[in-house]
Amino acid sequence: MMAPTDDPHDPRSAPVPVGASLPANAAPEAPESAPRPPRWRRWAVEIGLFVAVFFAIQAWMARDVPAGPAPDFATVAADGRALSLAEWRATHPGEAVGVYFWADWCPICTAQQGTIDGVQADYPVLTVAMQSGGAAAVTSVLAERGLDWTTAIDADGRIAQTYGLRGVPAFVIVDPAGQIRSVSLGYTTGWGLRARLWWAGVDI
């Protein structure tokens, strides 16, 4: 047997490894992956992002809505009588009210009409038919859909423009003092509208 030499180029001088070596075809062990965050945490982050984006879009769309007193308007109702916001609010003293802008050509408004029907059973709601024709045309739409709404006619969109609205549906909440408290654009749930109306009517 030949003894190992001190020559570094001599393979016999290489140190003998301690322990058994891996087979030539064996793969090294993969490092352990970091634990994934709990599923509920991921969901919470996604929901939080969705809510933040939703309210950011709402704020951007409502950027032209005036703050302070709700602009008064005078027009004709669907039944042909004269109607103004101030006179209508006077029939509901001390109450928060809703002013709902809609159009007969708006599919989201059609999807939400059941919600508005339910809300107006609990709170005063004045609806405004924007760019949906004159009183006769709007009366026909209401009758066809079975809606018993007090509806102001905004045939040319000027009332909506006064409120800084760029589209429908839009639900404006006015407190008992006549101040605009909130504006909801697009589809809104019934419980959300009821909560806003209730809060607007709270005497702080």
Q: DSSP state, 96? A: -
Helix axes 107-120, 190-200, angle to 10 degrees: 50
Cα separation of 182 and 197, whole Å? Answer: 9
DSSP secondary structure of 10-53: SGGGSPPPSSPPPPTTPPPPPPPPPPPPPHHHHHHHHHHHHHHH
Nearest to 75, CA basis, from 90, 94, 88: 88
pLDDT for res 174: 97
Question: By the 8 A CB rule, do 193 and 119 touch?
Answer: yes
Angstrom CA distances, 99 to 75, 130, 133, stand at 14, 12, 19
Cα separation of 182 and 15, whole Å? Answer: 81
pLDDT for res 50: 47
The architecture in CATH of the region 71-200 reads 3-Layer(aba) Sandwich (3.40)
Domain ranges of the chain: 71-200
pLDDT for res 176: 96
pTM score, whole prediction: 0.72
Cα separation of 193 and 182, whole Å? Answer: 10
pLDDT along the chain (204 residues), means of 10: 55 53 58 69 67 49 73 97 97 97 97 96 97 97 96 97 93 96 93 96 76
